[in-house]
Amino acid sequence: MEKSGDNRALRTDPKEVEMEFTLIVAVLMVAYLLGSIPVAVIIARHVAGSISDASGTGTMGARNTFRSLGPRFGVMVAVLDIAKGALAVAIAHLPV
């Protein structure tokens, strides 16, 4: 039996179901860990020797880095944050 709109057959073997569940949990953990990397803080410490949320609006992120350290580093933080999200999605779409 197949899911509608999907080529994969429904998994009925308990070992296959457990393996798929484990894979889903692992992908979620990797995505969570990728999202927890504070790119703005890393760049601010590397460039200015301080944390970016200590100045400007008081939040860490691309906008505050842009205001505090300039457009070059603000855009860098934005691009790296977007890349983290894209990488998490790409990992989730890897074939099983």
pLDDT of residue 5: 57
CA–CA distance, 92 with 61 (Å, rounded to integer): 25
Q: Give 58-88 pLDDT, tens digit per residue.
A: 788 899 889 888 999 999 999 999 999 999 9
Percent of all residues in the chain with a pLDDT value above 90, rounded to a whole number:
40
Identify the residue with better confidence: 12 or 38.
38
Per-residue pLDDT tens digits for 17-28: 888 889 899 999
pTM for the full model? 0.74
DSSP string spanning 20-88? Answer: HHHHHHHHHHHHHHHHT--HHHHHHHHHTSS-GGGSTTS--SHHHHHHHH-HHHHHHHHHHHHHHHHHH
